[in-house]
Amino acid sequence: MSIVNEIIANYNYWITIFLMLSGLYIVVAKSNMIKTLLGLAVFQTSVYLLYLSPGKILGGTPPILEKGIEVYSNPLPHVLILTAIVVGVATLALGLALVVRINEAYGTIEEDEITAIVDREDHAE
């Protein structure tokens, strides 16, 4: 039973790992470019959790300077993840913009179809 207890006690890490692997799986398995980018977003989001959950202390308050507040959560991970979220949004926006342009140029967003076209162009060059 101890292993079950350990899994339940660290459930936040298991959620992180699950999100991480499912994001990575979507990136690898999907040919649709938008789905790939969404997988990438899920993968990045799992990292937010990886940073945030160790920073939270059970019973701790937000880190505010006031008398009587002794146990508080670490504010640094939150600040870092705010930055990481901005980076993630920028990446996703740029990726989607590229997919729009690729769709205009190729008429499809399926990566295997585009790869086939690119291969043909490589040989016809």
Partner 1 sequence: MSAEPLLLQDHLPALQVVVPLLGSVVVALLRQGPAAWVVTLVCAWSMPLIAFALLDQVMTNGTISYALGGWPREVSIEYRIDQANAFLLVLVSIMAALVTTYMPRSIADEIAPERQGWYYCMYLLCLCGLLGMAITGDAFNIFVFMEVSSLSMYGLIAMGRDRRAMVSAYQYLVLGTLGATFYVIGVGLLFTMTGTLNLYDMAGKLEAVENTRPLIAALAFIGVGIGLKLALFPLHLWLPNAYAFAPSAATAFIASTATKVAVYILLRIVFSVYGVNIAFGDTPAAAALLALAIMAMIAPSVVAIYQANVKRMLAYSSVAQIGYIMLGIALVSQTGLTGGISHLFNHALIKASLFLAVGCMVYSTGITRIEQMAGIGRTMPATMGAFVLAGLGLIGVPGTAGFVSKWFLITGAVEQGLWWLAAVIVFSSVLAMIYVGRVVEVAWFREPSGAAVSPRKPPLEMVVVTWVLALAVVYFGFDTDISAGVAGDAASLLLAGYR
DSSP states along 55-99: H--TTPBP----TT---B--SHHHHHHHHHHHHHHHHHHHHHHHH
Rounded Cα–Cα distance for residues 13 and 20 (Å): 10
Q: Indicate which single residue of 90, 107, 113, 116 sits in contact with partner 1 (rule: CB under 8 A).
A: 90
- Using CB under 8 A as the binding rule, the residues of this chain from 102 to 121 that contact partner 1 are 102, 105-106, 114-115, 118, 121
Residue type for position 87: V
Q: Does 17 bind partner 1 (CB under 8 A)?
A: no
Answer for the pair 16, 50: CB distance below 8 angstroms, yes or no.
yes
Q: Does 98 bind partner 1 (CB under 8 A)?
A: yes
Q: Which amino acid is at 8?
A: I
Spell out the residues 6+ positions from residue 103 whose beta carbon is closer than 8 angstroms to its own: 109
Piece in contact with partner 1 (CB under 8 A), picked from 1-9, 46-54, 63-71: 46-54
Stretch 22-41: interaction string toward partner 1, x if CB under 8 A: --x--x-----x--xx--x-
Binding-site ranges for partner 1 (CB under 8 A): 20, 24, 27, 33, 36-37, 40, 43-44, 47, 50-51, 54, 76-77, 80, 83-84, 87, 90-91, 94-95, 98-99, 101-102, 105-106, 114-115, 118, 121-122, 125
